Structure formats: structure tokens, C-alpha cells
């Protein structure tokens, strides 16, 4: 099957990035959000990204126009009915994802391949809300999607090998390096990243170093683009807390357990960059200041 038309459900941080890369890779792309306001916000962020690329000369104005021309926003799930692949990037809640895919299963042609961008939920448990678990995969992108070169392609025990290979190739056509993962909680990246991030919080709790020193150590000592506490603020403390709970529930290992400080910061609403405060204070976004605990 040739993939021509891509559907993306959710036009938030991840969905808008996925829609952008799909349209930029030459696919006719339809992105769906629940309300016109959320859709408008997502499309504006794509517009901003494309303008930045054009200003830098990475793409020409003509190419920008072509990408825009391939991208359509909608609030109607029915408009996804003739897509060859649908990538879901909605709220990270099992019930919401199952409900969405149950509805898409009825609307879409039987050949459509379904993919979830979930970072921590079990793909098999989402897939079994449909009658096509053999045409269901995980397609996990990284934030910011247009910049990060990786996509994890996840197969379940029910995924048909030919469908899986098609989606691995699709990941490459999106300009990403696909890695092959099984449907184990956290896949590859979060299996390794989450214990590292949680350990950085534990190190802070134990007085191993200050926020700036922990971050600078990994940035300058190991060449990471962001230190772990900056990365936690970037990913979202609420998101990391949620993922850690799912991983701890699955593996029952201390390395996946949320440190008390993370829980308290989430309870206080200090969710990182998006809430203006996390391990750093973002009142002046260009000049974040480390918090004092
Ligand atoms: N969208 C699109 N492009 C963006 C962007 C965004 N949100 N933010 C930055 N960029 C682009 C800039 O335009 C710039 O492009 P250029 O090199 O062509 O000029 C480039 O990224 C570098 O930007 P900056 O100079 O402003 O800043 P940095 O050099 O610090 O790079 C970064 C920003 C790419 C975010 C880099 O800091 C980085 O790679 N950080 C680590 C991000 C990471 O680890 N992400 C994965 C998180 S884990 C995850 O998503 C999984 C989930 O399940 C938890």
C-alpha cells in the first residue's frame, strides 16, 4: 500500500509537530483538534515554525507555500476517513485514546494503519479497542518534533510484519531515524531516560549538587544539549511524573519511582517551562533562574 494521505489527531505540542513534518515530507495531511480555538493555536505554531525556517533560508517561500497547501486543519473526525495512516497525539489517557480509535475504526477504510504517539501507555491495550490490532503500531516522536531526528516504531505481538515494515519506512520518509521497539512500557528512550531524570531529582534532594551544577555537569561534562533538570522543565514535570507512575506500576523497580520532590512540585502546579516555574523560574523566559528550595 502506498501511503499518500496522513491523518494526525491532536494539534498540541506533539501533534502540530507531527503534522508539520508529514506535510513537509510531501504527504497530504489532515490534522484534527477538538475545538476551533485549539486547532487555531496548533496551526499558528506550525506557521511560526515554517516562517522561522523560511527566514533562515532552510526552505524557500515557495516550499513554505507548498507545505501549507498540503496541510489541512479540521475539527471533524470524519475528515480522516480516507487517510492511509492516522497518528494519534491526544491527551495521554488510555480511555480517551481507546474511545478515539474505537470511533476511527468505524469511520476509516479497513486498510488504514493506526499509530499512537503514546510515550508510556501499552499499545496493545489501545489497539484492542479496534477490530484491527494487526494494523496498529506505536509511533513515538520526540519534542520538539521538527528538530528531533528519532522516531520509535513499536510493534505489538499482534502487529502484522508487513504493516510494521511499512511504518518503519514511513518513519524514514518523515525524515526521522526509525528505531525498532517492542511494546514494553517506556519503549527504548523512556526506559533509559526516565530513571536518569528521576535520579537527577534524587541527587538534588540528597544535596549532591545545586540545580545549576547538576545541569552544567551533564551539559558540559557529557555533551548533552540540556542538563537533566532543564530537560525535566522542558518535557513537563507532570508528564514525567505520570510516565514514572506507569513505569513503576509495570516494573515495580525503585529506579522508576517518583522522588518526593517531583510529586510535591506537581502538586504545587510547578510543571516546568509551560507553567512558568519548575526547577527554574521562567518569568524572564530568555534568562531562567534556578529555584531555591
Ligand atoms: N520547534 C521547532 N524548532 C525548534 C524548537 C521548537 N520548539 N525549539 C528550537 N528549535 C530549533 C531552532 O529553530 C534552532 O534551529 P537551527 O539550528 O536550524 O537554527 C535549533 O532548534 C536550535 O535552537 P536554539 O539555538 O534556540 O536552542 P538549542 O540549541 O538549545 O536547541 C533544542 C533546542 C533542539 C530543544 C535542544 O536544546 C535539545 O535538543 N534539547 C533536548 C531535547 C530533548 O531531549 N527532547 C526529547 C525529550 S523526551 C521526549 O520528548 C519523550 C517524551 O515521551 C517524554
Question: Beta strands 280-281 and 289-290: pairing type?
Answer: antiparallel
Ligand 1 pocket, 49 CB below 6 A?
Answer: yes
Q: Is there a catalytic annotation at residue 88?
A: no
Structural domains of the chain ordered from first start? 5-182 (3.40.50.720), 190-290 (1.10.1040.10)
DSSP structural state of residue 258:
P
Check whether 209 has a pLDDT greater than 80.
yes
pLDDT at 181: 98
Check whether 1 has a pLDDT greater than 80.
no
User: Rounded to two decimals, what is the model's pTM?
Assistant: 0.96
- 281 forms beta bridges with 277, 289
Nearest to residue 205, comparing CAs of 285, 265, 117? 265
Ligand 1 pocket, 147 CB below 6 A?
Answer: yes
Distance from chain centroid for Cα 74: 20
The confidence band for 293, taking pLDDT boundaries of 50, 70 and 90, is: confident
Q: Which of 53, 117, 144 to mutate to test the pocket of ligand 1 (most atoms within 8 A of CB)?
A: 144
Amino acid at each position: 500500500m502506498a501511503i499518500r494521505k496522513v491523518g494526525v489527531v491532536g494539534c498540541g505540542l506533539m501533534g502540530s509537530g507531527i503534522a508539520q513534518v508529514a506535510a513537509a515530507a510531501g504527504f497530504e495531511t489532515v490534522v484534527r483538534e477538538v475545538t476551533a480555538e485549539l486547532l487555531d493555536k496548533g496551526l499558528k505554531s506550525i506557521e511560526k515554525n515554517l516562517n522561522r525556517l523560511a527566514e533562515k533560508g532552510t526552505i524557500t517561500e515557495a516550499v513554505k507555500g507548498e507545505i501549507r497547501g498540503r496541510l489541512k486543519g479540521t475539527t471533524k473526525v470524519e475528515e480522516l476517513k480516507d487517510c492511509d495512516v492516522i497518528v494519534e497525539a491526544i491527551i495521554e489517557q488510555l480511555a480517551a485514546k481507546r474511545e478515539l480509535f474505537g470511533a476511527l475504526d468505524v469511520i476509516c477504510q479497513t486498510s488504514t494503519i493506526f499509530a499512537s504517539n503514546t510515550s508510556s501507555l501499552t499499545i496493545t491495550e489501545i489497539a484492542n479497542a479496534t477490530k484491527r490490532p494487526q494494523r496498529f503500531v506505536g509511533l513515538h516522536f520526540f519534542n520538539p518534533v521538527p528538530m528531533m531526528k528519532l522516531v520509535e516504531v513499536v510493534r505489538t505481538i499482534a502487529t502484522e510484519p508487513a504493516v510494521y515494515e511499512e511504518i518503519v519506512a514511513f518513519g524514514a520518509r518523515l525524515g526521522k531515524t526509525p528505531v525498532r521497539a517492542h511494546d514494553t512500557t517506556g519503549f527504548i528512550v523512556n526506559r533509559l531516560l526516565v530513571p536518569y531524570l528521576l535520579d537527577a531529582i534524587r541527587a538534588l534532594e540528597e544535596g549532591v549538587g545545586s540545580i545549576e551544577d547538576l545541569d552544567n555537569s551533564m551539559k558540559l561534562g557529557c555533551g548533552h544539549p540540556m542538563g537533566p533538570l532543564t530537560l525535566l522543565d522542558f518535557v513537563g514535570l507532570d508528564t514525567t511524573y505520570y510516565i514514572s507512575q506507569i513505569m513503576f506500576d509495570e516494573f515495580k523497580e525503585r529506579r522508576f519511582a517518583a522522588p518526593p520532590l517531583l510529586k510535591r512540585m506537581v502538586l504545587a502546579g510547578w510543571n516546568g517551562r509551560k507553567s512558568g516555574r519548575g526547577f527554574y523560574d521562567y518569568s524572564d523566559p530568555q534568562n531562567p533562574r534556578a529555584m531555591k528550595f
